[in-house]
Amino acid sequence: MKGIILEGVTGSGKTRIFGHLQRMLTAERPSNTKIFLSEHYTERVLEHQRESGTLTSAMVLDHLQRMIGMFESLRSAKVASKFSGRGGNATVLLIVERFLLGQVALMSTSDPSSWCVSPPLVDAIAALYRRADACGLRTVVLRIAPDAMRDRVLSTRGYRNAAWCDYLASQGDDDAIVARYTALQNTMLEHCRSLEAIVQPTFTEIGADWEDDKYVAVANDLKCRFLSP
């Protein structure tokens, strides 16, 4: 197995890079089994619980552990088969949009007490990432440059639906919106630093006024670095 976890706040290009990787891998590796798991199943399936204030760190970890369990089942099937030890077309390719860091940032920003990193919690996170590592998953954090945050976040109104625009508007004026996502990214990066020995992320800087070719280049670089045969 080989895979990438894409982490980053709104406007960092997760979904765009996710889509480019889908197209590239489908075209270049048609015979490989591919799993593209979007944020709808990694994070947004828990959205209603987070919004109601009932989501806990234990619930997030349980959800992600069950997700890793799906990948482990595929890995076990291969190990028990004649394809054990083989690469090539027998390699499963995984692209996961959001994982733990986005969840932590969202919960901690709205309620700092919801994710207090204690020794037992660190042990649970370490166990989760060991399992992810065994499945070949590497964490990539898309980090928006500070001077690009306003452009990247506010530009989402130009390509997302009306419901998203209404959601942004509910957070206040443009300055309030930018401040919120700056705080989210800072919280995510703070947790990256505190968990660096466990998560071991690769950072990719996202600039302002990027055209699609820049995101294509990032996707191609990630593909070559982490998903090459």
All domains of the chain in start order, with CATH: 2-226 (3.40.50.300)
The 10 Å CB-count burial string (b at 16+, else e) for 18-41 is bbbbeebbeeebeebebeebbbee
Each residue's pLDDT expressed in tens, for the chain with a length of 229 residues: 999 999 999 999 999 999 999 999 999 999 999 999 999 999 999 999 988 889 999 999 999 999 999 999 999 999 999 999 888 999 999 999 999 998 988 888 877 777 877 788 889 999 999 999 999 999 999 999 999 999 999 999 988 899 999 999 999 999 999 999 999 999 999 988 888 889 999 999 999 889 899 999 999 999 999 999 8
Distance CA(188)–CA(168), nearest Å, equals: 20
Q: pTM (2 decimals)?
A: 0.93
